[in-house]
Structure 1
Amino acid sequence: MKNLNVIWMMAVVFVMSTASVLGQSEAKKNKIIADSKMAKAEFIKADALMKDLFENAHGYVIFPNVGKGGFGIGGAAGNGVVYEKGKIIGMAKLSQLSIGFQAGGQAYREVIFFEAKKDLSRFEESNFEFSAQASAVAATEGASANVKYAEGVMVFTALKGGLMYEASVGGQKFKFNKL
């Protein structure tokens, strides 16, 4: 029974991670863009100081709806919008696989700020991924005040709902598609 759960979860993660942003309909892209604008407003509402980050970063990617779940083996996936100097330049796909003690599911938003052109370019080449050691800051009032770029990136998340217990190891991988 446990082996069947593991195989099922791996199949779900595989399907989520291989779905292409390019294959999305125009209506779905427009929904993701609208959701990213709303997520940006929610990040700024949670921490007004983030407005400066959005205005001063060379670029950023917003994943407005990331779903995460697991039981032993877990995964997460979401689609996002990539901005350079405040203008949309492409769409992105986030996928994550994790192994360890975890149970439950949750939904969250994620924004990644890029300090310079070279950092955004690394993301655009789809060579960008976070290891298990990468950390994100929860977007709460004043959270961005003392956060600094680490290797040209800064990451914030905001929980939307759900409950998940987790002590796992994993990483996020990204795929960029230029518009």
Structure 2
Amino acid sequence: MTHFTRRGLLALGGAGLGLAACGNGVGSQGAARLDARVDATRNYLLQKYPGTDTLMNKSVGVLYMPLMTEAGFGIGGAYGRGALRINNVTVDYYSAASASFGFQIGAQQYAHALFFMTQEALADFRRNPGWEMGADARYALPDRGGAIGADTTTSLAPVIALVFGQSGLIAGATLAGTKYTRIIP
């Protein structure tokens, strides 16, 4: 019988992240290319989902992750790169990575944005060398009509996550356990 250690599972998850990163053009993106992708993602949100502009205006900063690639076969991982914008000006670049274990097979790509609704939440994110998405964040999901479901409960959350543009063969996308790390593109 094979015995899996936590370190072994993390190593296998890292291998999955390496495979997921292949579809992201890691290493071939400079700051200008990443900013262009962030611009396109921001414009897509504003055009596709009414109410996003209100959420953007209420937030003190937004982390845009234009392309997350996730793949898994029992053990999976996801990886993507993006930019943090304050007053619609890029202030830092980040990578996002996660590993998972369980019943899963397939691959998908999606985008997401984190809206920081308080200065404290934004400062905490920028201060930590490896910030992890936790349970204190709320998810605003586009409904069938394309409007963002940011109600009063959600708008009081320090961080609001919006996952959109899913395509692929894995059902759903979650950001729980995703680790964000500042990078130099």
Which whole-Å CA distance do the structure 2 matches of 1:121 and 1:178 have between them?
A: 19
Distance 1:97 1:11, change over 3 A: closer
Equivalence for 1:87: 89
Which whole-Å CA distance do the structure 2 matches of 1:37 and 1:68 have between them?
A: 22
2:162 aligned to which of 148, 152, 156: 156
Counterpart secondary structure, 1:40: helix
Equivalence for 1:100: 102
User: Retained in 1: the 8 A contact 2:84–2:94?
Assistant: yes
Any unmatched runs of 5+ in structure 2? 4-8
Equivalence for 1:46: 48
TM-score by length of 1: 0.78
Counterpart secondary structure, 1:164: coil
Cα deviation, 1:25-74, whole Å, max 9, x if unaligned, reads 7x522111111111111112221210111122100100001101111111
Equivalence for 1:62: 64
User: Retained in 2: the 8 A contact 1:100–1:167?
Assistant: no
Which whole-Å CA distance do the structure 2 matches of 1:81 and 1:168 have between them?
A: 19
Equivalence for 1:137: 140
Residue correspondences, number: 171
Q: What percent identity do the matched residue pairs reach? A: 20
Distance 1:69 1:44, change over 3 A: same
Any unmatched runs of 5+ in structure 1? none
RMSD: 3.4
Equivalence for 1:73: 75
TM-score by length of 2: 0.76
CA-CA distance at 1:85 after TM superposition: 2.4
Counterpart secondary structure, 1:143: coil
Structure 2 residue identity aligned to 1:95 = A
Structure 1 residue identity aligned to 2:80 = G
Distance 1:167 1:114, change over 3 A: closer
Which whole-Å CA distance do the structure 2 matches of 1:167 and 1:35 have between them?
A: 20
Equivalence for 1:113: 115
Write 1 or 2 for the structure with the bigger share of strand.
1
User: Retained in 2: the 8 A contact 1:101–1:166?
Assistant: no
Which whole-Å CA distance do the structure 2 matches of 1:60 and 1:167 have between them?
A: 19
Distance 1:105 1:51, change over 3 A: same
Distance 1:29 1:145, change over 3 A: same
Which whole-Å CA distance do the structure 2 matches of 1:47 and 1:137 have between them?
A: 11
